[in-house]
Amino acid sequence: MLGLNKKDTTLLLVVAILTLCAPFILNPFPEGSALAQFNAGYPDLMQRFVIFGIFAIGFNILFGLTGYLSFGHAAFLGVGSYSAVWMFKLLSMNVIPAIILSMIVSGLFAVVIGFVSLRRSGIYFSILTLAFAQMSFNLAYSVLTPITNGETGLQLTLNDPRILGMSATADGSIPVTSLFGLEMRSTYQMEVGAWLFQFNAGYYLCAAIMLLAFYLAIRIFRSPFGMMLRAVKSNQQRMRYTGLNPRPYTLAAFVISGMYAGLAGGLMASMDPLAGAERMQWTASGEVVLMTILGGAGTLIGPVLGAGFIKYFENIFSKINDNVLHSWFSFLPDGLEDFIVTIVHPFIGKGWHLTLGILFMLVVIFLPGGLVEGGQRIARLFRGKKTANTSKTKTEPAE
Amino acid sequence: MGILEVKGVNKRFGGLQALGDVNLSVRENTVHAIIGPNGAGKSTLLNCLVGKLIPDTGSVMFDGQSVLGRQPHEINQMGISRVFQTPEIFGDLTVMENMMIPIFAKRDGAFRMHAVGNMMSEKGIVEAAEKMLVDMNMADKRDMHTASMSRGDKRRLEIGMCLAQEPKLLLLDEPTAGMARADTNNTIDLLKQIKEERDITIAIIEHDMHVVFSLADRITVLAQGTPLVEDDPQNIKGNPKVREAYLGETA
Ligand SMILES: Nc1ncnc2c1ncn2[C@@H]1O[C@H](COP(=O)(O)OP(=O)(O)O)[C@@H](O)[C@H]1O
Ligand SMILES: [Mg+2]
């Protein structure tokens, strides 16, 4: 279907179903219950899941296929956000032109940064991209203030000269982003017993775009172009002496992944129309590297899993505080309760980075293929039992 | 005029004269062997032909055009394929993918953005690659990852990948170096078969005299960066200068 083989079609369908049903799946616990803390089915967070999913899918096209590790991809995310906000300020509150512009501008940035950085490979390439991103961050923070609004960040105001649309609504507030009139913030709430499910227009737009981005990534992975990118990673020497020029291949991959990042940035601004320089900081560049490696670099679904995993941690673990812990362990004798809370304390709330760091180390050491490899191992455990039984009855020699 | 004409090539590495006034002419559809003791400059000469090194002086003409100043991939697209001293293949890819890449390169040139093209619809490429795998006697290894193959198989695949491009000139740098006896014999048989079945010019660097004398139509002996003699195999065998160059080294 859609030019995909059976396995890839199944994968795409599963991802589609999961994203469409996310408001249910991510809200398994009834409101007000002790575990409601772990619910992730609210619009903000779901939007972040899929937007960072797009970011990581794009990053994986570069890193997973060619092996070129960019440490500056957040620059494209930031550029995408700024472009989108400018489009809201100048043209219209419709998200489509904003998203298109953010992809074009980040693509142009990627051509320039990629052209220079790809003259080197390995660690030097990483450092060059890092330098570019840091440069962009600092420029956005200071010199380019007229464009970026410096420290404050770029925001909508009541006197934006919006060509198609009004500067302010009738009641004197700033208009909201929309898709041909459908407001991105509009949310349908569904109460089922003690559960509350939220269906947000913005989330579904992001989810649809993520599915499109994912589909395109599968096509790229399976295309002759994708094979050439894997050839770049495998042996550039052989490639050159086979009449192929690795440079334009890596540049094309770099620009594509830069545009994915720009798209993610544009979507962020479309959900919440503001853009700040911190979006370009090196920590943000590092985060997408973590997502991709944690999920499984070079696999199709890995980056999406990694993005979801990290965003879940960031938003859920960081909100657990000592009070919550005390309420969980209140069944224990007082002394023991305090003891356990003290032990757990560094790993939660502001300490969620510690938990994530430890998990990341464990994954890299024991599951070099990331979460995807973990999943495969579990699947093999189950399947292994079955094949072990059947192989006993086989008599022909194993090949 | 040969298909490959090397004239007055010099190459220095610091104080070392690796190549000194090398002249070489390889005639079309022959196997031309370049022999010589270790460090004679054979690999350096080869590197000057494929764009890996640029000679300090001299000219290298292939098929009437100069190769100097061109990138390796451009020289390859002119029709020169190269087999390396240690097999260079795509270790993370399957045998079939390894074989498809040179065929894509032949059809599409140095770069083509077929990003959403479908591998399944590339029937011509798939068929050509499968045919070459059969020719190389590797059809059973089609979906294997190359990293786990023996040196002999890697060499066989690399030669197949070069042939798949239908090059005018095939360069081989010690294709049997470091191989087990069985793998060496396999490779020799393969090369003999290629020589018989295909219209192709081959320039081969080889240490194994047995290999050289059973394959070559013409032999150039290189010593200390300079051609000693160029002659037919039967004349080379008895040549006292060659004996000296070789025996002096191996004794
Ligand atoms: N890149 C290089 N830099 C410096 N010296 C080199 C380089 N490549 C080869 N040489 C030297 O040039 C001489 C010829 O080397 P080479 O062409 O590899 O010999 P052969 O292949 O005949 O054994 C040797 O003395 C070698 O050390
Ligand atoms: Mg050599």
Q: What is the pLDDT of residues B165-186, one digit of tens each?
A: 999 999 999 988 878 888 888 8
What's the CATH code of the domain at B21?
Answer: 3.40.50.300
Distance from CA of B52 to the nearest CA of A (A): 9
Same domain, B189 and B125: no
pLDDT for residue B1 is more than 50: yes
| Residue matched to tokens 């600092």 | A138
Same domain, B109 and B149: yes
* B16 alpha carbon – ligand 1 mean position (Å): 9
End residue of a domain, out of B166, B201, B232: B166
Residue B179 is assigned to a structural domain of this protein: yes
Same domain, B49 and B159: no
Which among A220, A231, A248 has the least Cβ separation from residue B115? A220
Cβ within 8 Å of A, B 133-172: 161, 165
Residue B86 is assigned to a structural domain of this protein: no
Same domain, B75 and B182: yes
Q: What is the pLDDT of residues B48-99, one digit of tens each?
A: 999 999 999 999 999 999 999 999 999 999 999 999 988 999 999 999 999 9
Number of domains in chain B: 2
Q: Which of A221, A235, A370 is nearest to B92 (CA)?
A: A235
Report domain extents, chain A. 41-280
Max mean pLDDT among A19-33, A335-349, B62-76, B139-153 falls in: B62-76
Residues near A398 by beta carbon (within 8 Å), at least 6 away in sequence: none
Same domain, B174 and B249: yes
Which amino acid is present at A262? G
Asked whether the beta carbons of residue A243 and residue B73 sit closer than 8 angstroms, the reply is yes
Q: Give the pLDDT confidence score for residue A399 in this predicted structure.
A: 35
Same domain, B49 and B118: no
Same domain, B175 and B160: no
End residue of a domain, out of B111, B145, B166: B166
Residue B150 is assigned to a structural domain of this protein: yes
End residue of a domain, out of B166, B183, B215: B166
Same domain, B137 and B33: no
Residue B58 is assigned to a structural domain of this protein: yes
Q: Give the pLDDT confidence score for residue A290 in this predicted structure.
A: 94
Same domain, B197 and B74: yes
B162-182 residues labelled b (16+ CB within 10 A) or e (exposed): bbbbebbbbbbbbbbeebeee
In whole angstroms, give the CA distance from residue A94 to residue A165: 9
Asked whether the beta carbons of residue A231 and residue B93 sit closer than 8 angstroms, the reply is yes
Asked whether the beta carbons of residue A237 and residue B88 sit closer than 8 angstroms, the reply is yes
Pocket lining: B249 vs ligand 1, CB cutoff 6 Å: no
Q: Give the pLDDT confidence score for residue B115 in this predicted structure.
A: 75
Domain that holds residue B139: 91-166
Interface test with B, best of A61, A241, A249, A257 (most B CBs within 10 A): A241
Measure the CA angle with vertex A206, ends A200 and A209; round to 5°. Answer: 140
Total-model pTM: 0.92
Same domain, B159 and B174: no
Pocket lining: B47 vs ligand 1, CB cutoff 6 Å: no
Enumerate residues with CB within 5 Å of ligand 2 (an ion).
B 43
Reported confidence tier of residue A385, pLDDT bands at 50, 70, 90: low
The answer to whether A234 touches A98, Cβ cutoff 8 Å, is no
Same domain, B126 and B11: no
